[in-house]
A and B are shown apart, each in its own frame.
Chain A
């Protein structure tokens, strides 16, 4: 079946949309990274942050169109997702000396191992043990997975051969 929109979407939307998308890319990335990195201090974490970063891909797909979208390397993005999950599992395995998923870094004095004053405090970045690294790993994975899903669906629905 042939649809009319297919051809017009090949090169994406107008220049105004493209420029707006590129301008928006910076604050979106910063917001996503902020949400991921401060997951242990403020509401947020790997999942919402990763989803925010994945909106970048969606924005790019909509603005740049099918031809540019095909140039994105799907395998590399899946690869990044796999790396994120392996890292996540690795941080789970760190605790295997005691138990699987034991938070081995917390209060240890090493990286992310700063002790925190209990109760209400202003929030310190280098605390919470394995939670911030896990947040980053999950953020990478979620961003990659959602991007792959959006990319594959976009390319598939835009194809009109068949």
Chain B
């Protein structure tokens, strides 16, 4: 039962990747990538948790041990990167929608 967060996180990652690989709607592909990115962020935060720990901030901190700060910093970085990637991908989807009139990835010209 102790590993429940890790299992949940792995399920989330797999859900995201499955959506990205199997879905036809391009918006759903973007959502899939975003979901798996969130899953990995959650994994990082879960790795840094210490039983009963408090946030690693000394301002008026209660006397308890602190959780690990690095995963939180990494998560902050990775969230912003994920945001940028999502914005970029969505703009491509917008362009393709304007061009082909559909978000279905089967209606495309390139065959590669």
Contact = CB atoms under 8 A, between A and B. Distances in A.
Given A41-B59, A47-B79, 7 more contacts: A1-B101, A43-B57, A47-B76, A122-B59, A122-B60, A149-B87, A156-B94
11 contacts: A1-B101, A41-B57, A43-B55, A43-B57, A45-B76, A120-B60, A121-B58, A121-B60, A123-B59, A142-B80, A149-B87
A53 B101 CA distance: 34
Contacts, number: 35
A142 B79 CA distance: 13
B60 A47 contact: no
Contacts of B101: 1
Interface of A: 1, 41-43, 45, 47, 119-123, 142, 146, 149, 152-153, 156-157, 162
Contact of B59 (A1, A42, A45, A156): A42
B61 interface: yes
A137 B59 CA distance: 23
Contacts of A119: 58
Interface of B: 55, 57-61, 63, 76, 79-80, 83, 87, 90-91, 94, 98, 101
A142 B58 CA distance: 26
A157 B97 CA distance: 10
A1 B58 CA distance: 57
B41 to A, nearest CB: 13
A42 B90 CA distance: 33
A126 to B, nearest CB: 14
Nearest to B87: A149
A47 B87 contact: no
Nearest to A42: B59
Contact of B98 (A47, A122, A123, A162): A162
B104 to A, nearest CB: 15
Given A47-B76, A47-B80, A121 B90 contact: no
Contacts of A43: 55, 57
B106 to A, nearest CB: 19
Contacts of B61: 120
A97 B13 CA distance: 44
- 6 closest residue pairs by CB, A with B: A123-B59, A120-B61, A149-B87, A41-B59, A120-B58, A47-B80
A116 to B, nearest CB: 8
